[in-house]
Amino acid sequence: MISKKMNDLLNDQLNFEFYSAYLYLGMAAYAASLGLNGFSGWFKFQTKEEMGHGAKFYEYIQRQGGDIVLGSVASPKQKFTSAAGLFEASLAHERKVTQRIVGLMAAAKKEADYSTESFLLWFLNEQVEEEAQLVDILQKLAIGGKTGNSLLILDGILGQRK
Instruction: Please identify the residue of the shown chain whose CB is closest to the bound Fe ion.
Output: 53
Please give the residues from 72 up to 91 whose contact with Fe ion meets the rule CB under 5 A.
none
Please check whether residue 29 is in contact with residue 41, taking contact to mean a CB–CB distance below 8 angstroms: no
Interaction pattern, residues 36-55, with Fe ion; x per rule: CB under 5 A:
--------------x--x--
Alpha helices in the chain (DSSP H): 4-33, 37-63, 83-110, 114-144, 148-158
**101 belongs to the binding site for Fe ion (CB under 5 A):** no
**25 belongs to the binding site for Fe ion (CB under 5 A):** no
CA gap 145, 147 in Å, rounded: 6
**# binding residues, Fe ion (CB under 5 A):** 4
Please check whether residue 57 is in contact with residue 9, taking contact to mean a CB–CB distance below 8 angstroms: no
Nearer to Fe ion, 17 or 155 (CB): 17
CA gap 64, 61 in Å, rounded: 5
**130 belongs to the binding site for Fe ion (CB under 5 A):** yes
Binding site for Fe ion (CB under 5 A): 17, 50, 53, 130
